[in-house]
């Protein structure tokens, strides 16, 4: 579940988040550094007709690295976001009638978006828990504090 981080909205809204990630790291077992390409899609709900798909490039540093678990900080340094919002308002010319507007846009940001995460060894992969967008530099947060948690499973290829 995710509150649309850095999005203007007066009320907290929970929506579904789907994502996938490709993480690249060295075969060196001591390496704590990794790069990643992250693709995330948030859905709209009945109260907030907003959906977005984000492509992000980032860097991850595992400051605790053990055989069975890792804890890391991460930063997204480039994002491409395609979003769509639908709004409905009263038609000023026909009282009682409504007008629906749909606005789609694509934005590129070279901001630094920071998060924290943990991987726990589970089977042939890892259960991963991430607080993805804890805070950001160079992005207006619209007065919101982002609540952006993700839970997933990483497969080793």
pLDDT tens-digit profile of 108-138?
988 888 999 999 999 989 999 999 887 777 6
The architecture that CATH gives domain 17-155 is: Beta Barrel (2.40)
The pLDDT of residue 53 is 92
Query: Are the C-beta atoms of 14 and 44 separated by less than 8 Å?
Result: no
Distance of CA 61 to the CA centre of its chain: 18
Structure tokens at 9: 């909205």
Distances (CA, A) of 113 to 60, 67, 131, 133: 12, 28, 11, 6
More confident residue, 65 or 147: 65
pTM, two decimal places: 0.76
Residue 56 — pLDDT band, cuts 50, 70, 90? very high
55 C-beta neighbours (distance < 10 Å), count: 15
């Amino acid at each position: 579940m995710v509150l649309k981080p850095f999005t203007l909205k007066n009320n907290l809204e929970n929506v579904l988040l789907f994502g996938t990630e490709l993480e690249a790291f060295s075969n060196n077992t001591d390496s704590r550094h990794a790069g990643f390409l992250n693709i995330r899609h948030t859905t709209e709900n009945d109260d907030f007709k907003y959906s977005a798909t984000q492509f992000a490039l980032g860097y991850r540093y595992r400051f605790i690295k053990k055989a069975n678990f890792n804890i890391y900080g991460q930063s997204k340094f480039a994002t491409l976001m395609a979003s769509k919002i639908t709004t409905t308002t009263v038609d000023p010319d026909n009282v009682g009638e409504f007008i629906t507007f749909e606005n789609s846009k694509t934005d590129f940001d070279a901001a630094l978006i920071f998060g924290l995460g943990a991987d726990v060894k589970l089977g042939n992969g890892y259960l991963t828990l991430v607080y993805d967008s804890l805070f950001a530099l160079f992005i207006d947060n619209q007065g919101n504090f982002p609540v952006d948690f993700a839970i997933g499973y990483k497969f080793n290829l």
